[in-house]
Structure 1
Amino acid sequence: MVPEAQFSSYYGRPILKKPVWAPLDIAGYLYLGGLSGASSLLAAGGHVTGRPALARSAKLAAAGGISLSLVALVHDLGRPVRFLNMLRVFKPTSPMNLGSWLLAGYVPLTMAAAASDVAGRYRLVGSAATGAAALLGPAVTTYTAVLISDTAVPSWHEGHRELPFVFAGSGATAAAGLALAAAPVAQTGPARRLALLGAALELGAFQLMKRRMGLMAEPYEEGGPRALLRSAEILAAGGAALAAFAGRRRSRPLAAVAGAALLTGSAALRFGVFHAGVASAEDPKYTVVPQRERLRAPTD
């Protein structure tokens, strides 16, 4: 009897090449993009409901977050022209190409909205830019989940159904956290509600994703990713609860602590997901075992 072959490599080489993206650049890009997109929604809400301080802080968060996100992306690409080259074509089947076009349209809108608010001029233009940025905000928050799910990295690809919802919740908690830390407590009602909704969506979708993934969920439950993701869960739940309590007490220090917890928890989730994906690409088990299971599965 020949023993079953052990899978550790393919002729001394990994079966999959792990992502070559720099962790700080790309995980930061995932985080800041989510913060920015959700902040645009919060800015529009503050603008419409007559909460100027909330609207201004969210507009600045959207513009600053997406600017830093682009800096991280271009730094990882190495040269700015590589980003511009992605705009030479329009390819609906490519999440990366669509994301590039999305950012090209979204960035100027956030800049116009923030500049108009700070300068106190061109209010009609600023209002239009705020509304248009809010329309693109959900796509900016979630498209990075589609981007990484559209790869061969096992623990990213297998979570393609729920990961956009996880990122949507994470972006909402980050935007709410920044608004809680920056705006007066009296104007943060929408941010507190967004924190509760975002935390529920993030935690619920992430647990559902792990249950459905089976073996592919292991990288999320081991080593460094596990520590990051457990911290994210605690900070998201605790920050949302503290935000609600701070609103009832009208406590500025409590709101600031809640905001810091939500911001940190959102970052921990994005970094945890990134590192879990890298770990799944490095271990051949997560490539070979599912293939064998599919071959053994009965066919109709």
Structure 2
Amino acid sequence: MTGELREAAEPTRSEGATYYGRPVIKEPVWKVPDVPAYLYLGGMAGAAALMAAGAGLTGRPGLARAGRVSSGIGATASVAFLVHDLGRPLRFLNMLRVFKPTSPLSVGSWVLAPFSALAGAGAVSAATGLLPRLGWLSSSAAAVLAPAMTTYTAVLLADTAVPAWHEPYRELPFVFAGSAVASAAGLGVVAAPAAQAGPARRMAVAGSALEVAATRRMQRRAGMVGEVFGQGRAGRLLRTAEALVVAGSVTALLARRSRIAAVASGLCLTGAGLATRFGIFEAGHASARDPRYTVEPQRLRSR
């Protein structure tokens, strides 16, 4: 082989680091907006169930009703988006045929199915006033599953080979939890009477602080993969989410005396939750397209 042919056949230094410039893994085939909406709605529903349970125990019926209705609607819509992405309802039912504790997908399916049924029953009772005792029991049972409902989708993403989802596997559940708490609190601030919405306002501030802190930590600790969270469409979405969540938490503090502030807070926190899920979803696609983010972290770990 001549020198020219050998040079043409051998990968360059940059190509060698990126498998000849080709993707090493396939991009996720999940649909947009189905999966990001499923991620947002499920998390919000879980946090809303906890908000409703706390409000019920502290004598705030208006906030409890808002939380129960938000939880039921969010969980039902989350299942609808998931089924639409799967293509056929039977595929979702097939995931319930067995229970595998080692599989985040299996565990998540067994969290989503009973939570949605329980939260939906509680929401119907809260909205109609029918069977109040049964509705309260259903909502209380949903609240037991709520912590898992709020974070299991982050574990599901982190269990994949997609670099932007797998590398920050420690931080991603905290990002989703903070975002879910802030989103549910925003709905509580809007829907509950101002005199009863104090816990929702405090949830908005706490959830926003957790989301911002966890997102920044995620970007730092992801190493070179963290670049994708600040670039392109993913970067724009996540910067928008941070701006909205800060604005939503600030206006939540003013919502006790201003209905306009309450609505503004709810809109900001809802928009932030959606932007966070869409941004992280887009970051995953970007990291899968660029083989550097698959190859280089593996090489660093093998040294």
Shorter chain as normaliser: what TM range?
A: over 0.9
Q: How does 1:71-150 map to 2 (within 5 A)?
A: 71-150=80-159
- Return the match for 2:296 from 278, 289, 292: 289
Counterpart among 30, 36, 53 of residue 62 in structure 2: 53
Q: Distance in 2 between matches of 1:8 and 1:29?
A: 35
Moved more, 114-123 or 271-280: 114-123
Per-residue CA deviation, residues 64-109 of structure 1 (Å, 9 max, x unaligned), is 1111111110001000000000111111111111111111211111
Identity of aligned residues (%): 53
Which segment is superposed worse, 78-87 or 201-210? 201-210
CA–CA distance in 1 between the matches of 2:157 and 2:119? Answer: 24
C-alpha distance in 2 between matches for 1:79 and 1:13? 33
CA distance 1:245–1:282, change in 2 (3 Å):
same
Superimposed CA distance per residue, residues 238-290 of structure 1 (whole angstroms, 9 cap, x where no aligned partner): 1101101222xx11111111111011011101100000011000000101111
Is the CA contact 2:21–2:291 (under 8 Å) kept in the aligned structure 1?
Answer: no
Gaps of 5+ in 2: 1-6
Residue pair 1:7, 1:285 contacting (<8 A) in 2 also: no
Give the CA deviation at 1:126: 1.8
AA at the equivalent of 2:299: R
1:265 partner amino acid = A
Out of 137, 160, 169, the position equivalent to 2:169 is 160
Match of 1:256 in 2: 263
Residue of 230, 233, 243 corresponding to 2:239 = 230
Alpha-carbon shift at residue 121 of structure 1 (Å): 3.3
Is residue 278 from structure 1 mapped to residue 282 from structure 2 by the alignment? no
Provide Cα deviations, 1:210-255, integer angstroms capped at 9, x if missing partner.
11111010110100111100011111111101101222xx111111
Could you state the TM-score of these two structures normalised by the residue count of structure 2?
Answer: 0.93
Check the 8 A contact 1:7/1:284 in 2, yes or no.
Answer: no
Structure 1 counterpart of 2:51: 42
The answer to whether 1:267 aligns with 2:274 is yes
SS where residue 23 of structure 1 aligns?
A: coil
Amino acid at match of 2:185: A
Partner AA of 1:264 in structure 2: G
Residue pair 1:184, 1:252 contacting (<8 A) in 2 also: no
Q: Structure 1 CA distance, aligned partners of 2:237 and 2:126?
A: 36
Amino acid at match of 2:205: L
| In 1, Cα distance between equivalents of 2:22 and 2:293 | 15
The one-letter amino acid of 2:169's match is H
Question: Which consecutive residues of structure 1, in runs of 5 or more, have no partner in the other structure?
Answer: none
Distance 1:111 1:293 in 2: 47
> How many pairs align?
294
CA distance in 1, matches of 2:301, 2:17: 20
Q: What's the TM-score, normalizing by structure 1?
A: 0.94
Distance, in Å, in 2 between the alignment partners of 1:244 and 1:123 is 32
> Matched residues in 2 for 1:34 and 1:42: separation?
13
Q: Report the counterpart of residue 214 of structure 1 in structure 2.
A: 223
Taking only aligned residues, the RMSD between alpha carbons, in angstroms, comes to 1.7
* CA distances 1:37-75 after superposition (whole Å, capped 9, x unpaired): 000011112212222221111111111111111111000
8 Å Cα contact 1:22-1:76 kept in structure 2 = yes
Q: How far apart, CA to CA, are the structure 1 residues paired with 2:16 and 2:67?
A: 50
* Contact kept in structure 1, 2:66 and 2:192, CA below 8 Å: yes
Larger deviation, residues 40-49 vs 23-32: 40-49
Contact 2:63/2:196, CA 8 A, preserved across alignment: yes
- The separation in 2 between residues aligned to 1:5 and 1:189, in whole angstroms, is 56
Following superposition, the deviation at residue 144 of structure 1 comes to 0.1
SS state at 1:88 partner: coil
